[in-house]
């Protein structure tokens, strides 16, 4: 088995016993990215900026693995309020150009650090 831990200072450090991502052969399994600015440790207040920061963090993990948003096969978006679905959907769409990945979006009772959105992904070379 070929397993490589992916870690970058350009995305928030894990806040538990997990890795930012794990590469297995040509597959990358990205842990959920929350909207913490990795430099300032600040969390934006509104869901628009939170969605953008979560996507930027995901992009940093992808880049560390030699990939980009075009390599994503599947994402899962976790929202604390499904009323934010359309707003987050708009931000999410800014990061892809056609051939969108498969996706699930679910509402959850809460997310780490009280954020409103978390995004995880599976990507491949």
**Confidence bin at 115 (pLDDT 50/70/90):** very high
User: Average pLDDT in the 88-110 region?
Assistant: 97
3-state secondary structure of 106: strand
Domain boundaries, the chain: 3-124
> In CATH, what is the architecture of 3-124?
2-Layer Sandwich (3.30)
Phi and psi based region of residue 25 (left: phi greater than 0; alpha: psi -120 to 50; beta: remaining): left
Note the pLDDT of residue 73.
Answer: 98
**Confidence bin at 85 (pLDDT 50/70/90):** very high
Residue 119 in this model has a pLDDT that exceeds 90: yes
Residue 90 in this model has a pLDDT that exceeds 80: yes
Instruction: Give the containing element (helix H, strand E) for 91.
Output: helix 85-93
Convert the pLDDT of each residue in 26-69 to its tens digit: 999 999 999 999 999 999 999 999 999 999 999 999 999 999 99
Tokens encoding 46: 């509104």
d(CA 9, CA 119): 18
Note the pLDDT of residue 1.
Answer: 75
Q: What is the mean pLDDT of the chain?
A: 97
% residues pLDDT > 70 (the chain): 100
> DSSP states of 30-86 as a string?
EEEEPS--TTT----SSHHHHHHHHHHHHHHHHHHTT--GGGEEEEEEEES-GGGHH
């Amino acid at each position: 088995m070929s397993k490589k831990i992916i870690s970058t200072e350009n995305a928030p450090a894990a806040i538990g016993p997990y890795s930012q991502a794990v590469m297995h052969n040509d597959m990358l399994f990205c842990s959920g990215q929350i909207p913490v600015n990795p430099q300032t440790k600040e969390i934006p207040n509104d869901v628009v900026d939170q969605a953008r920061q979560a996507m930027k963090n995901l992009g940093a993990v992808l880049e560390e693995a030699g990939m980009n948003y075009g390599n994503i096969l599947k994402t899962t978006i976790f929202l604390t309020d499904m009323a934010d679905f359309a707003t987050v959907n708009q931000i999410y769409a800014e990061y892809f150009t056609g051939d969108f990945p498969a996706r699930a979006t679910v509402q959850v009772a809460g997310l780490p650090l009280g954020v409103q959105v978390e995004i995880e992904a599976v990507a491949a070379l």
